[in-house]
Amino acid sequence: MNDTVVLAYSGGLDTSYCVKYLKHEKNLEVHAVLVNTGGFEEAEIEEIKSRAISLGVSKFESIDVTEEFYQKAIRYLIFGNILKNDTYPMSVSAERIFQAIAIAEYAAKINARYIAHGSTGAGNDQVRFDLAFNIICPEAEIITPIRDQQLSRSEEIEYLKYHGVEMSWEKAKYSINKGLWGTSVGGAETLTSNLTLPEKAYPSQLIKKGSETIKLTFKSGELVGIDGNAYSSVQSIQLLDKLASAFAVGRDMHVGDTIIGIKGRVGFEAAAPLVTIKAHHTLEKHVLTKWQLYWKDQLAEWYGMMMHEGQYLDPVMRDIETFLKNTQLNVTGEVEVELHPYRFVVVGITSKYDLMNSKFGDYGEMNNAWSGEDVKGFTKILANQTKIHSAVNKAKS
């Protein structure tokens, strides 16, 4: 063990405060570690590195887990069509555990005595980070300056100003977390129940008007192409996000129950996640059976809840992933989507596995697999148990 502290670093207000506090108040050697889950370009990482060095870190490390994040989390969120409270694609909920795991593994590798994060004491992230740290590097002492001192953003700003740190304080009004699976936006408005975020708070702005039609290609449940061009799933998500964000698609406000028992509200933009999940779900409704869809919904709900609450490392998650993956064997085809300013429409699908097959009948029009007499017998048997229940209870009354 040594006097090194590994800090989960993003370059924002909270982690900038942590650098100064850990260095000046705790006299620790700060290793700032940025874990990229698909939200940073190379130029941005270099800028964040320069800022970290100017703040006084002893070492800056960037770890890219984008592909791992997709393979081990995002694709299962797609398979399960998971939207927290039917709204939020779990942009930060999912990525935090992978950031925490990478930070913990780095700390264990260098045998750091301390490990730190900039989470507050009123949110979910503190639990997600602490859980991973306790499981992967239990020997390291966890330091959480923002949580322990119960600091407001204005107090953090004043402390940094005192130490001569210049930042864009207007921008610091909003906490923005960007990753492959969407961007969350928090600010003064999200602390209320009635105010919404201003247009300027969103990283992506409306660029295109009118409409645009795109075709998404899915293979075994994974997005693998757009408009007839094949890409990796990560590339497909990145391209879709670029196309849909130009229409300012994917904005919303999420209200949910936090791990610690209070209600939380956050704004987000997640163009690619929302379009992908809606398109994928539409394709599934055509190619899966009724009971496949039913049980997927039940297990996906649990999977999303466990992921949200930081329980990704529980082995039951691997069991659910096995089920979800198996349901995707026939989820292959194309989905047509129309993009409009601030909204999108799923037009329809094409798939060789489409169960909406006119060979067996057209809904509301004509059946080809049974007769009217067959239906009479079927409904008579189907009604039998309820008829018995009705007769018994009438006799009792």
Report the candidate in 176, 26, 36 with the shortest Cα–Cα distance to residue 116.
26
Residue 323, SS3 per DSSP: helix
- pLDDT (0 to 100) of residue 175: 82
Exposed/middle/buried for 349, CB within 10 Å: 0-12, 13-18, 19+? buried
pLDDT tens, residue by residue, 325-345: 999 999 999 999 999 999 999
Mean pLDDT of the chain: 93
DSSP symbol at 210: S
Where in the sequence of the chain do the CATH 3.40.50.620 domains occur?
4-175
Residue 363, SS3 per DSSP: coil
Q: What burial letters (b/e) apply to 189-202, b meaning 16+ CB within 10 Å?
A: bbeeeeeebeeebb
pLDDT tens, residue by residue, 313-328: 999 999 999 999 999 9
Q: How far apart are the C-alpha atoms of 306 and 324, rounded to whole Å?
A: 15
Which residue has better confidence, 84 or 367?
84
Q: What is the mean pLDDT of residues 147-161?
A: 91
- Tokens 């008829």 correspond to 387
Q: What is the mean pLDDT of residues 232-247?
A: 98
CATH no. for 178-350: 3.90.1260.10
Question: pLDDT class for 184, splitting at 50, 70, 90?
Answer: very high
- Flag whether pLDDT at 363 surpasses 70: no
- Flag whether pLDDT at 21 surpasses 80: yes
Q: How far apart are the C-alpha atoms of 80 and 300, rounded to whole Å?
A: 5
Which residue has better confidence, 186 or 168?
186
- Flag whether pLDDT at 299 surpasses 90: yes
pLDDT tens, residue by residue, 252-296: 999 999 898 999 999 999 999 999 999 999 999 999 999 999 999
Where in the sequence of the chain do the CATH 3.90.1260.10 domains occur?
178-350
- pLDDT (0 to 100) of residue 174: 83
Q: How far apart are the C-alpha atoms of 64 and 179, rounded to whole Å?
A: 11
Task: Please state at what angle helix 13-24 crosses helix 153-162, rounded to 10 degrees.
Answer: 50
Q: What is the mean pLDDT of residues 8-29?
A: 94
pLDDT tens, residue by residue, 97-119: 999 999 999 999 999 999 999 99
Q: How far apart are the C-alpha atoms of 232 and 254, rounded to whole Å?
A: 29
Q: How far apart are the C-alpha atoms of 111 and 3, rounded to whole Å?
A: 10
Question: pLDDT class for 172, splitting at 50, 70, 90?
Answer: low
- pLDDT (0 to 100) of residue 123: 87
Q: How far apart are the C-alpha atoms of 61 and 317, rounded to whole Å?
A: 30
Fold for 4-175, please state it: Rossmann fold (3.40.50)
- Flag whether pLDDT at 361 surpasses 70: no
Q: Determine what percent of the chain is predicted with pLDDT higher than 70.
A: 96
Q: What is the pTM of this model?
A: 0.91
- pLDDT (0 to 100) of residue 210: 96
Query: Are 253 and 196 in contact, with CB atoms under 8 Å apart?
Result: yes
Q: How far apart are the C-alpha atoms of 1 and 22, rounded to whole Å?
A: 17
- Flag whether pLDDT at 396 surpasses 80: no
